[in-house]
Amino acid sequence: MYCGRFAPTPSGRLHLGSLLSAAGAYLRALSQGGECLLRLEDLDRPRCRPEYKDSICADLKTLGFTFSDQVLVQSDDLNPYQEAVEQLLSTGKAFVCRCSRRQIRERPCQCRELNLPYKKGRAIRLDCEDVPRDFYDERLGSLHLSLLPDSLILKRSDGIFSYNLACVVDDVRQHITEVVRGSDLISSTPLQIYLYHLLGRTPPKFLHLPLIVAADGGKLSKQNHAQPVLERFTPAEAVRLALKLLGQSLDDLQGLTPSEMWQQAASRFDLAAIPRQDITLNLQPVPQLTPAPGGNDCNQLTQ
């Protein structure tokens, strides 16, 4: 059975870029007769705040999404990530690194040859020499990445597990069959496929969506203060905008709830209609009108 997921980082309220990823993953799953899971990627603790977990869940609920099963919150249990790191160390492809961030910027890490023991303050990296550079995207076709890093961080020197490691571990344990996400993560995909192979798992399919970029070409993201989508639009307006940006029909949506709009859109979901290029949007910021909601249980979202 098809199983997709939406996996936001709770470092702010839901913005339009995240909504587009959620919409793409959700519509694709529903259109395949499958399910879509929600995962909160909150391992990078300094960037994440508990109140944003609640506000993202509340915003998604207001926007009519219903995710299947329990919400997976990464910080709830770190053991699966540690087990994967140990499995990767046992393959000989992962190694302990004592380089500082500055040293890594200045020259390639050569710690693999030193065979260092792990201790607090040291990172764990993966040698990327054998990473395959070609992969297939379900929307964009065959892709080739010429530039890949020499090595990939798996566990940072401050003990935080990396995005790429955690993403693969979670997609495996959530039995994800297809990953639908923004094309800013295309460069991570070969690295993640390599991790699947080293962990003895079959990679899922991958489908990357266009990004929304600001008129100056910059990425619209939480980092550059993209506005929370529900501060700017009503839920119905936000759903219509997401569908429009994904090239989907807006016919016969009048009078429907956001949830019904997704169902209607999924019944005629057209993958080929999604723009191939990134989407330029010129939204001027408007003053904040409503306070961020809080105190909502993420599990209210699930069936």
223/150 Cα distance (integer angstroms):
27
Span from 86-94, 111-119, 128-136, 213-221 in contact with Zn ion (CB under 5 A): 111-119
The span of 2-10, 96-104, 217-225, 251-259 binding Zn ion (CB under 5 A) equals 96-104
- In one-letter notation, the amino acid at residue 165 is L
Cβ 112 to Zn ion shortest distance, Å: 8
CA 279 to mean position of chain CA atoms: 18
* Position 72 contacts Zn ion (CB under 5 A): no
Q: Find out whether 169 and 201 touch, Cβ atoms under 8 Å.
A: no
- The window from 88-96, 105-113, 179-187, 233-241 that contacts Zn ion (CB under 5 A) reads 105-113
Point out which span in 32-40, 84-92, 108-116, 178-186 binds Zn ion (CB under 5 A): 108-116
Smallest distance from the beta carbon of 113 to Zn ion, in angstroms? Answer: 10
- C-alpha span between 293 and 240 (Å, rounded): 22
Instruction: Give the single-character DSSP code of 147.
Output: -
- 111 versus 169: smaller Cβ distance to Zn ion: 111
Phi, psi torsion values for 267, nearest 5 degrees: -65, -15
- Cβ 106 to Zn ion shortest distance, Å: 12
Helix (H, G, I), strand (E, B) or coil at 180: strand
Considering only 48, 97, 165, 274, the residue that binds Zn ion (CB under 5 A) is 97
Q: H/E/C letters for each residue in 78-125?
A: CHHHHHHHHHHHHCCCEEEECCCHHHHHHCCCCHHHHCCCCCCCCEEE
Q: Does 63 bind Zn ion (CB under 5 A)?
A: no
Counting every residue, how long is the chain?
Answer: 303
Q: How far is the CB of 111 from Zn ion (least distance, A)?
A: 3
> 46: which residues sit within 8 A by CB, 6+ positions away?
none
Q: Are strands 35-40 and 72-73 parallel, antiparallel or unpaired?
A: parallel
Among residues 109 and 126, whose Cβ is nearest to Zn ion? 109
Single out the segment in contact with Zn ion by CB under 5 A; choices: 10-18, 95-103, 141-149, 265-273.
95-103
Q: How many CB atoms lie within 10 A of CB 271?
A: 15
Give the shortest CB-288-to-Zn ion separation in angstroms: 44
Instruction: Work out whether 85 is an interface residue with Zn ion (CB under 5 A).
Output: no
CB atoms within 10 A of CB 258: 20
Q: Judged by CB under 5 A, does residue 109 bind Zn ion? A: yes
Rounded Cα distance, 20 and 182, in Å: 8
Query: Nearest distance from residue 34's CB to Zn ion, in Å?
Result: 41
96 lies in the site for Zn ion, by CB under 5 A: no
CB of 145 to Zn ion, least distance (A): 23
Q: How far apart are CA 62 and CA 88, in angstroms?
A: 41
Contact 205, 178 (CB under 8 A): yes
153 binds Zn ion (CB under 5 A): no
Q: Is 14 in the site for Zn ion (CB under 5 A)?
A: no
Compute the distance between CA of residue 78 and CA of residue 155 in angstroms, rounded to an integer.
12
Encoding tokens for residue 140? 């964009």
Does the protein bind Zn ion through residue 152 (CB under 5 A)? Answer: no
Q: How far is the CB of 166 from Zn ion (least distance, A)?
A: 21
Q: Which of 99, 131, 167, 191 binds Zn ion (CB under 5 A)?
A: 99
Binding residues among 16-55 for Zn ion as defined by CB under 5 A? none
* 111 sits near Zn ion (criterion: CB under 5 A): yes
Judged by the rule CB under 5 A, the positions of this chain that interact with Zn ion are: 97, 99, 109, 111
